[in-house]
Amino acid sequence: MSQRTPPQKMTLYSSTNCPWAARSLIALAEANVQYETVEIDLDNKPEFFLKEVNPQGKVPTLDYAGEKLIESGPIAEFVADLFPDVGLWPQGSTEETALFKLRARIFVETFITKVVPNWAGILFRADPAAPAAILSAVEGFVEPLLPETSSAGPFFAGRTEFSMAEVLTAPFAARIDLMGRNGIVPADVYEKLQKLPRFGRWMKAVMERKSIKDTFDEASNLAKIKKKMALAQEKKTPPRL
Ligand SMILES: N[C@@H](CCC(=O)N[C@@H](CS)C(=O)NCC(=O)O)C(=O)O
């Protein structure tokens, strides 16, 4: 299917290994829209990026017809609003729609506040307790919010297509899955995650989604994850006598 042209020119300032930027990449891929990407090296930010694009120096930043939009959540919301037919949010102001949005937002908030800090615990603190904490957060908080396995689709609320619930959480789920497949999340923990009936089904479907396959550079992310973990490990090592 040919890509749709946006109403105005779009340029996304992004970084391959950033899960927040991945939210924008996924939303734009779901919308199948044309845009330009500028890869920002976060370890060596170009001067023009800080001066002309985002003085905060953060990705994602979306340039929409000259207006610089920041923050991954609002950027994804903007894409969903600009292309409502994509269905990232259900349309219409019905009670059903309002409840879907509310529940999806609770799901995203739960994922980000309960699971992501433990994922960050592996990455930035080399915390040996973090993988088990991911499992218990998913089991305790995320699993009950996902649809039953008898539902038509594996995605949030039993949908067969992505909604904003996936756009905003999939980058983190994909990175946890990658870490599981590469032994960074230990095999027993990863296996238990995969065997959770709802989450296991959801995560598998997320990884098979075209917008994830097209936007997630596994080799680059894995290398960066290993580098960050090595740095975290070094900091934890007490100085030699
Ligand atoms: N709240 C922001 C977080 C974005 C963020 O922290 N991006 C990181 C990369 S993953 C970044 O740009 N870091 C560069 C810096 O903070 O200097 C969002 O959701 O867009």
Q: What is the pLDDT of residues 139-152, one digit of tens each?
A: 999 999 999 999 99
pLDDT tier at 169, thresholds 50, 70, 90: very high
pLDDT of residue 55 exceeding 90, the answer is yes
Least-confidence region, from 31-35, 61-65, 123-127, 167-171: 123-127
Provide the residue type at 208 as one letter: E
* SS3 track for 31-89: HCECCEEEECCCCCCCHHHHHHHCCCCCCCEEEECCEEEECHHHHHHHHHHHCHHHCCC
| Nearest CA-CA partner of 198 in 133, 144, 132, 161 | 144
pLDDT tier at 236, thresholds 50, 70, 90: confident
CA–CA separation, 93 and 34 (whole Å): 29
Q: What is the mean pLDDT of residues 191-199?
A: 98
pLDDT of residue 237 exceeding 70, the answer is no
pLDDT tier at 96, thresholds 50, 70, 90: very high
Q: What is the pLDDT of residues 64-79, one digit of tens each?
A: 999 999 999 999 999 9
Using a 6 Å cutoff on CB, does residue 18 contact ligand 1? yes
pLDDT of residue 240 exceeding 70, the answer is no
Residue 10 in 3-state DSSP?
Answer: strand
Least-confidence region, from 2-6, 22-26, 212-216: 2-6
Using a 6 Å cutoff on CB, does residue 209 contact ligand 1? no
Using a 6 Å cutoff on CB, does residue 74 contact ligand 1? no
Q: What is the mean pLDDT of residues 192-219?
A: 98
Q: Which ligand 1 atom is at minimum distance from the Cα of 59?
A: 12
Element (H, E) at 214: helix 210-215
Given this model, what pLDDT does residue 26 score?
98
Given this model, what pLDDT does residue 238 score?
62
Task: Work out the percent of the chain whose per-residue pLDDT is above 90.
Answer: 95
Pocket test for ligand 1, best of 59, 109, 119 (most atoms within 8 A of CB): 59
pLDDT of residue 239 exceeding 80, the answer is no
Q: Which ligand 1 atom is at minimum distance from the Cα of 18?
A: 10
Pocket test for ligand 1, best of 18, 41, 68 (most atoms within 8 A of CB): 18
pLDDT of residue 1 exceeding 90, the answer is no
pLDDT of residue 50 exceeding 90, the answer is yes
Q: How many angstroms does the Cα of residue 134 sit away from the middle of ligand 1?
A: 22
Q: What domains are defined for the chain?
A: 10-86 (3.40.30.10), 95-235 (1.20.1050)
